[in-house]
Amino acid sequence: MAVITMRDALNDALREELARDPDVFLMGEEVAEYQGAYKVTRGLLEEFGAKRVIDTPITELGFAGLGVGAAMAGLRPIIEFMTFNFSILATDQIINSAAKMLYMSGGQFKIPIVFRGPGGSAYQVSSQHSQALESWYAYFPGLKVVMPSTPADAKGLLKSAIRDDDPVIFIEQERMYGMKGEVPEEDDFTIPLGVAEVKREGTDATIIARSLMVPAALKAAEELEKDGISCEVIDPRTIRPLDIETIVQSVQKTNRVVIAEESHPFCGVGGEISAEIHEQAFDYLDAPVKRVSAADVPMPYAKNLEQLAIPDFLQIVAAVKEVAYV
Amino acid sequence: MATQVIMPKLSPTMEEGQVARWLKKEGDKVSMGEPLAEIDTDKATMEMQALSAGVLLKILVNEGESAPLGEPIAIVGEKDEDISNLLEGKKERAPKAEEEKAEEKPEAKEELKEAKKEKETEEEEAAEPKKAAPAKEKEKEKETKPTVEPSGDGRRQLISPIAARMAAEAGVDLRKVQGTGPGGRIIKRDIEAAMKEAKPSPAAAPKLRPMAMPKAQPGAVYGPSAYRDEPMSEMRRTIARRLVTSLGPVPHFFLTTEIEMDRAADMRQQINALYPDAKVSLNDVIIKVVAAALMQHPQVNASFQDKTVRYYEHADIGVAVATENGLITPIVRAADMKSLIEIAAEVRELAGRARERKLKPEEYMGATFSVSNLGMFGIDEFTAVINPPEAAILAIGAMTPKPVVREGEITIRQMMRATMSCDHRVVDGAVGAQFLQTFKQIIENPLYLFLG
Amino acid sequence: MSSQRTQRQENSEAAARTAAGVMDEPARKDASDILSEDRDTLLKMFHQMLLIRRFEEKCAESYSLGKIGGFCHLYIGQEAVAVGAISALRPEDYVITSYREHGQAIAKGISPQAVMAELYGKATGCSKGKGGSMHLFDARVNFMGGHAIVGGQIPLATGIAFASKYQETDQVTVCFFGEAAVNQGAFHESLNMAQLWRLPCIYLCENNMYGMGTSAQRAMSMDDVATKACAYELAAEFVDGMDVVAMRRATQRAVERARDHSLPTLIEARTYRYMGHSMSDPGKYRTRAEIEKYQERDPIKLFRAKLEENDLLTEDDVKQFEEQVREEVERAVKFADESPEPAPEELATDVYANPLR
């Protein structure tokens, strides 16, 4: 196993898939000559040329729609949003075109496209550049939403997303690009979409976390272990379709749930997971499902306020203690 | 649009089916092809799949009830859809439908029923002096209408879902558990603590419906008895396993008693003198007394269900009838609810049709207890074989005058021997004996029938 | 890169002419240049226009009978645009359009039966009854759909053209949209990318003068859509959208530019819709007289007169065409009527190509 950063794992996945399938191309702002605003696409222009690694004007709606059209005609585009904040401009094409094309054409036009880029909280860039949008996209049938939390997951899931025949929203955490982790060196390492992973086993409470909150949840679990509370940490990895079976199995074992997320609480993915747990495992709950979410405010700039807005492991520890009645 | 779910044809010879179990509750989402209910056909118990997706809006045929092929048994549609047009002319079939629908938690079900019962009795009482103070009535209602468990101070008892489930499974009495969660919520660890303390004992066994002699509803039609399935204790399971390996599929044991029948015979004669058309037989009296005794010993009105023991609410008595083609046992449904005259008429009618082979399957399948009488053949005493899954059968011998000792003197009395066969997996010796004792007590003094 | 710069100079010149209101010379000649076409082609176009007209009239009737639900945007009055433009394409070329697309769908080769069945919400519809009037699709004839967010199809068309170039086929994409779509960002973003990357795409604006109930004059700061091309240095043409032959010629020139030089074109076709925006439009925003004025230049009437003038069509031929078209439409209605509704299981199919669970 090689220890590499999330950034390099993603870069490997892109390189391998570009090499594997000539129908795959990569398009976005600053992906080619600039080598990527976050250097995820570093070196790809040199390797694959300007035909397949394409810098775009700042025209998110336009190139998102162009990608969908290209997918209709048989290509497999990877559309990078410099950050997912800018995908908001492209939502008409993502939601009204990509998500619905297969359905409203009666199954004639599949859209094998990946919309990827950094999302979630960044460092002190204030309200417009620091927000979690997964609940928007997860709302729509027709889209798949993937959020990796380790370099290995990032690589394996991105490769699967590129090969998937449906539109996939692939949200990378901006703060995690430099995070290192072991990535299998095997040829063609992939991880199937729609499968959660138990990141840590435990018996007293289940912490469901995704993206940036997975390391926080693992740290919280370590802390809680000292108090004799054994936590299971589950990373759904794919938000839609959600692997609710794995979650329910864990809840049946632990009877207590904390959902940790860096998104706003209202109408969020955590609320959805909580609802599913209540529908499918109500009789196994020993306490109400507890969410630990970002503050319900736009992201502030000041460092101290920003820290207050994003949940940390201590909040997860407190939440677990609450549901475990400690 | 709401659609009716009809009783499907699940076997080539099936004419009607019995809903063994609803796998969905009213209000549940149903997807196409999903199992909706288990249906007992004349052949087997089969899963019935939903043919349309939506929400199960209404159950028309309750568990244990039957419906002919093609008859609506439920309605599936969109949530909150108006289904009044589909319900027109559909009567509730079960006398206890309201009770079945009550949204109580499983562990509170029995208590709730008790509470309801109390309330009913109170209402009956209050029905006479109709001017009773309304405030007082309201108060009573408050007391007797808990949604879950009344705690000591009358507030709703809070309990987490997993704790409720564990308590129900282990038979923990929640009134004795002190909740340690927020606001006194009973949580998992409280039940775990309670389970450690309380050894499994008969006291922990689920409380059973106390015997009461309900009003007869003349002309009422009853489906097969409603029941509840209780999880089998580990001990019960072991008994079941061991007895089966020693005695065969149904481990029988037999209890015999001799009964003085003079008073019962007198009573029968008096009734027939008053109502010559009633033609009450001694066997009808026996059926009525068996039903009454079963209400006092619900452990006997039960059946072995592999993983659970099924306890029936009503006494559906199978009456063995000899026909040219062999033995058949038409069923007097809810004999505990019926008058002697009703029973007599029903037995006569069923036996007549049995001999003409005109009984429908649900008229001879699904009794909760059977009576076999060979007295008319001069048999003094015999043992009968249990009709599975019933837990017992009572074999009645001939009534003959015999010398007996009463108060130190030899005297002649009409004596009859009754032998009960019990399924040891469900009924233990003492339980069977107690039942037989009650049976004897009532039939020797039939006045008990009227004392409820 | 260098070839792009050369092209930029060419484009600049074309754009300058357009901006100055100088319409291309060829466009003027198109109107009288009917004899250079063979008769079969012309009659095929006449037949298609008549078919679309009668089909749409039947749609209006079916809509009022409740057989067609939802929105239903009719094309009556604009037939020359779709028929003329699509006649210039090869079968493998792509067409993508807006929600007013019954005419384009039929002209591109979807059978009237499959279109009508779709409008009726039947399983045999070209989108299996899942798309309806606004979302006709047929992958077999590269009809890439009706799209119902104004301007939404324009970036898609750009992407389809991008794919043709990427795949090194010589397919051309024609994208139809109304003049109101020009005010959307999607139009401008697409034209910029198409010219920047030299994509074989024809942007065909059907200027019917109204965006729903708002006249173009009340919505656009300038009158001519074609002049907007100069902002992106795109080749542009202004065409009489009531003249089917002119439409064909203009599109042929754009196709040549796309196929041979991989360059986009913006065509503005001036046309007029006789019916409301949709079936539920009371039409209060324009006068009866205005409609009648445009009906004098009815595209079918004009074409028929021209064909008759040149002895290419007789009154008997017209009768025969009318009869044939009547039968085709009747057949479509019968087929739609008799077709089954989609099976309830269809509700949940086609959401994902790889459903995963």
Q: What's the pLDDT tens digit per position in B266-298?
A: 988 888 888 888 889 999 999 999 999 999 999
Give dist(CA A165, CA C356) in Å, integer.
11
pLDDT tens per residue across span B336-390: 988 888 899 999 999 888 888 788 878 888 899 999 999 888 899 999 888 888 8
User: Which residue in A72, A75, A92 is closest to C152 by CB distance?
Assistant: A92
How confident is the model at residue C253, as a pLDDT?
96
Give dist(CA C151, CA B6) in Å, integer.
50
DSSP conformation letters of B59-75:
ESS-TT-EEETT-EEEE
- Contact assessment for residue B427 and residue B302, using Cβ atoms and an 8 Å cutoff: yes
Which residues of chain B from 184 to 213 reach within 8 Å of chain A, CB to CB? 187-189
Flag whether residue B32 sits within 8 Å of chain C, measured between CB atoms.
yes
| Sign, Cα dihedral of C131, C134, C139, C140 | positive
Residue with tokens 């795409």: C201
- The C-alpha of B25 sits at a distance from chain C's nearest C-alpha, in angstroms, of 23
- ipTM of the modeled complex: 0.94
Q: Which residue has the higher pLDDT, B131 or B45?
A: B45
Give dist(CA C297, CA C308) in Å, integer.
16
Residue B148: pLDDT above 90? no
How confident is the model at residue B155, as a pLDDT?
60
Residue C7: pLDDT above 60? no
How confident is the model at residue C313, as a pLDDT?
95
Percentage of chain A surpassing pLDDT 90?
Answer: 98
How confident is the model at residue B140, as a pLDDT?
43
pLDDT tens per residue across span C197-217: 999 999 999 999 999 989 999
Q: Where are the beta strands (DSSP E) in chain A?
A: 2-5, 24-28, 53-55, 76-80, 114-119, 144-146, 168-173, 180-183, 197-200, 205-209, 231-235, 238-240, 257-260, 290-292
pLDDT band at B156 (very low <50, low <70, confident <90, very high): confident
pLDDT tens per residue across span A227-249: 999 999 999 999 999 999 999 99
Q: Strands across the sheet with C143-146, in order?
A: C143-146, C94-97, C173-178, C201-207, C265-270, C235-240
How confident is the model at residue B38, as a pLDDT?
84
Give dist(CA C147, CA C160) in Å, integer.
14
- Contact assessment for residue B251 and residue B243, using Cβ atoms and an 8 Å cutoff: yes
| Sign, Cα dihedral of B355, B356, B361, B362 | negative
- Return mean pLDDT, chain A: 97
Residues of chain A found within 8 Å of residue B162, distances taken between Cβ atoms: 255, 283-286
pLDDT tens per residue across span A9-49: 999 999 999 999 999 999 999 999 999 999 999 999 999 99
A75: closest CA among A192, A169, A10, A165?
A165
User: Which residue in A51, A62, A103 is closest to C130 by CB distance?
Assistant: A103
Residue B206: pLDDT above 50? no
- Specify which residues A183 forms β-bridges with: A2
Inter-chain Cβ pairs, chain A and chain C, closer than 8 A: 156
Residues of chain B found within 8 Å of residue A325, distances taken between Cβ atoms: 180-182, 187, 189
How confident is the model at residue B228, as a pLDDT?
80
Q: Which two tokens stand for residue B426?
A: 């469900």
Give the least confident one: A11-20, A67-76, B69-78, B415-424.
Answer: B69-78
Alpha helices in C197-286 (DSSP H): 216-219, 244-261
How confident is the model at residue B16, as a pLDDT?
78
How confident is the model at residue B364, as a pLDDT?
85
Residue A209 exposed, middle or buried by CB count within 10 Å (0-12, 13-18, 19+): buried
- Contact assessment for residue C271 and residue C77, using Cβ atoms and an 8 Å cutoff: yes
Residue A154: pLDDT above 60? yes
DSSP conformation letters of A123-187:
SS-TTTTSB--HHHHHTSTT-EEE---SHHHHHHHHHHHHH-SS-EEEEEEGGGTT-EEEE--ST
How confident is the model at residue B366, as a pLDDT?
87
Inter-chain Cβ pairs, chain A and chain B, closer than 8 A: 28
- Return mean pLDDT, chain C: 91
3-state secondary structure A225-243: HHCCCCEEEEECCEEECCC
Residue A140's closest chain C neighbor by CA?
C351
pLDDT tens per residue across span A74-87: 999 999 999 999 99
Give the residue-averaged pLDDT of B40-64: 79
Q: How far is CA B59 from CA B27, B36, B63, B84, in A?
A: 10, 11, 9, 13
Residue A325's closest chain B neighbor by CA?
B181
Residue B212: pLDDT above 50? no
CB atoms closer than 10 angstroms to residue A90: 25
- Contact assessment for residue B57 and residue B26, using Cβ atoms and an 8 Å cutoff: yes
Q: Which residues of B325-336 are buried (b: 16+ CB within 10 A; e: fewer)?
A: eeebbbbbbbbb
- Contact assessment for residue B168 and residue B149, using Cβ atoms and an 8 Å cutoff: no
Q: H or E stretch including C335?
A: helix C315-338
Residue B245: pLDDT above 70? no
CB atoms closer than 10 angstroms to residue B170: 17
C58: closest CA among C81, C74, C46?
C74
Rg of chain B in Å (alpha carbons) = 24
pLDDT tens per residue across span B166-177: 888 888 888 888
Rg of chain A in Å (alpha carbons) = 19
- The C-alpha of B10 sits at a distance from chain C's nearest C-alpha, in angstroms, of 23
Q: H or E stretch including C336?
A: helix C315-338
How confident is the model at residue B89, as a pLDDT?
52
Give the least confident one: A224-238, B385-399, C242-256.
Answer: B385-399
Residues of chain C found within 8 Å of residue A139, distances taken between Cβ atoms: none
Q: How far is CA B352 from CA B8, B355, C152, C236, in A?
A: 30, 5, 79, 97
Estimate the crossing angle of helix B282-296 against helix B262-274, to 10 degrees.
120
Give the least confident one: A273-282, B111-120, B186-195, C79-88.
Answer: B111-120
Q: Across the interface, do B164 and A283 touch by the CB < 8 Å criterion? A: yes
Flag whether residue A248 sits within 8 Å of chain B, measured between CB atoms.
no
How confident is the model at residue C22, as a pLDDT?
39
pLDDT tens per residue across span B113-146: 444 444 444 444 444 444 444 444 444 444 433 3
C245: closest CA among C87, C89, C47, C21?
C87
Flag whether residue C296 sits within 8 Å of chain B, measured between CB atoms.
no
How confident is the model at residue C349, as a pLDDT?
96
How confident is the model at residue B93, as a pLDDT?
43
Give the least confident one: A100-104, B177-181, B196-200, C265-269.
Answer: B196-200
- The C-alpha of C65 sits at a distance from chain B's nearest C-alpha, in angstroms, of 22
Residues of chain C found within 8 Å of residue A63, distances taken between Cβ atoms: 155, 189, 193
C236: closest CA among C198, C192, C205, C190?
C205
B76: closest CA among B111, B120, B32?
B32
Alpha helices in B259-389 (DSSP H): 262-274, 282-296, 340-355, 361-364
Give the residue-averaged pLDDT of B158-187: 89
Catalytic site includes residue B297: no
Residue B188's closest chain A neighbor by CA?
A286
